[in-house]
């Protein structure tokens, strides 16, 4: 490596644009539109420019809070980092494949918790042996051992969220993206999950935390990226960015 003061970048976003083409039904309301034309059906494709040239560098052991109002492009940026939504222009470079914390979509509600631990683990890319080795740890962390044989549809939303979190964090991640995951469960579980996130951050390296909770960003992040309408507004320490963000809203 170079000088010890220079930290190694692990994620680099280079002028990332994301555009969607959506088959729009209905029409844009405009001053001239009224009466007869309201009944006409228009089916035109509309281009949504979700990210308009975002660039930043994330270093090892950074934990970066990502803030912005709803629809500002936070989630799109995260999906672009993971490679789920390819950039239309620009590129994202990463030291290893970043992963998003979340496994909910892979689970089947009609199956027992036990089956879902296996399915979720496999979906995350764990092997059958790894899942068997971690099974007890996952179940104990979720705190629903008594209900693990029951179908997941019978769980309360809190129980479901805990199980999902427990499965999702069973895998070790080098670069991890957490999208509003801290706000689940009761007080006890929230404390445990925040501790787990800090663990992951210490072991992992780099973490992106998308949240609307300024408190949890202040607590866990050393850096904040503020996205607004697809552009990067500010990038700096929480003490610099959060007050500016609070002023704008």
Partner 1 sequence: MTLADEASRAGLHKVGGRPPFGSYLRQVWERREFIYALARFRVEAENGRNRLGMAWVILKPLLNAGVYGLIFGLILSTHKGVDDFVPFLVIGALMIEYFSTCLTMGAKSITSNAALVQSLSFPRMALPLALVTQRLLMFIPTVGVMLLVAVAWGNRPTWEWLLIIPVTVTFTIFNTGVTLITARLTVHFRDMTQLLPFISRFIFYSTGVFFSFEERFRDHPTALEIVAFQPLHEFLTLGRTIFLGGPQYEVEPKFFIYSTVWAIVVLALGARFFWAAEERYGRTD
- Reference 206, options 82, 121, 122; nearest CA is 82
Residue 131 vs 241, nearer CB to partner 1:
131
CA distance 187 to 238: 25
* Cα-based torsion angle of the residue sequence 160, 220, 203, 165 in order, rounded to the nearest 10 degrees: 0
Q: In the bound complex, what is the minimum distance in angstroms from residue 59's beta carbon to partner 1? A: 10
Go through 119-145 and write b for each residue having 16 or more CB atoms within 10 A of its CB, e for each that does not: bbbeebebeeeebeebbeebbebbbbe
Q: Is 20 in the site for partner 1 (CB under 8 A)?
A: yes
Out of 33, 42, 71, 127, point to the residue binding partner 1 (CB under 8 A). Answer: 127
Out of 71, 86, 158, 236, point to the residue binding partner 1 (CB under 8 A). Answer: 86
End-to-end CA distance of the chain: 42
Out of 9, 53, 150, 231, point to the residue binding partner 1 (CB under 8 A). Answer: 9
Number of H helices, E strands in the chain: 8, 9
Q: Is 11 in the site for partner 1 (CB under 8 A)?
A: yes
- What is the pattern of x (binds partner 1, CB under 8 A) and - over residues 139-178? ------------x---------------------------
**Stretch touching partner 1 by CB under 8 A, among 121-129, 137-145, 180-188, 226-234:** 121-129
Residue for token pair 């979340």:
102
**Stretch touching partner 1 by CB under 8 A, among 11-19, 137-145, 197-205, 231-239:** 11-19
Out of 68, 98, 205, 238, point to the residue binding partner 1 (CB under 8 A). Answer: 98
Q: Is 57 in the site for partner 1 (CB under 8 A)?
A: yes
- Give yes or no for a contact between 17 and 52, defined as CB atoms under 8 angstroms apart: yes
**Stretch touching partner 1 by CB under 8 A, among 61-69, 101-109, 155-163, 223-231:** 101-109
Residue 99 vs 220, nearer CB to partner 1:
99
- Reference 142, options 167, 158, 162; nearest CA is 162
* Dihedral sign, Cα of residue 161, residue 163, residue 166, residue 169: negative
**Stretch touching partner 1 by CB under 8 A, among 86-94, 188-196, 198-206, 211-219:** 86-94
SS3 assignment, position 176 = strand
Query: Which residues bind to partner 1, rule: CB under 8 A?
Result: 8-15, 20-23, 55, 57, 79-87, 91-95, 97-100, 102-106, 108-111, 115, 118-119, 122-125, 127-128, 151
């Amino acid at each position: 490596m170079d000088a010890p003061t220079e930290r190694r970048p692990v994620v680099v976003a280079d002028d990332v644009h994301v555009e969607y083409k959506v088959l729009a039904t209905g029409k844009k309301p405009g001053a001239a539109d009224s009466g007869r034309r309201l009944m006409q059906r228009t089916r035109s494709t509309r281009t949504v420019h979700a990210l308009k040239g975002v660039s930043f560098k994330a270093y090892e052991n950074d934990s970066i809070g990502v803030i912005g109002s709803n629809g500002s492009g936070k989630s799109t940026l995260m999906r672009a980092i993971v490679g789920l939504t390819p950039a239309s222009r620009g590129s994202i470079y990463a030291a290893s494949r970043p992963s998003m914390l979340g496994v909910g979509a892979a689970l089947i509600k009609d199956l027992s918790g036990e089956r879902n631990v296996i399915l979720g683990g496999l979906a995350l890319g764990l092997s059958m042996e790894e899942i068997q080795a971690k099974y007890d740890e996952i179940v104990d962390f979720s705190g629903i051992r008594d209900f693990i044989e029951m179908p997941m549809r019978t769980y309360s939303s809190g129980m479901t969220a805990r199980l999902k979190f427990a499965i999702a964090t069973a895998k070790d991640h080098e670069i991890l993206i957490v999208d509003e995951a801290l706000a689940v469960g009761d007080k006890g579980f929230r404390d445990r999950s925040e501790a787990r996130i800090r663990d992951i951050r210490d072991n992992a390296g780099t973490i992106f935390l998308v949240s609307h909770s300024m408190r949890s960003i202040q607590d866990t992040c050393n850096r904040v990226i503020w996205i607004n309408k697809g552009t990067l507004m500010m990038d700096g320490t929480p003490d610099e960015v959060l007050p500016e963000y609070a002023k704008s809203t």
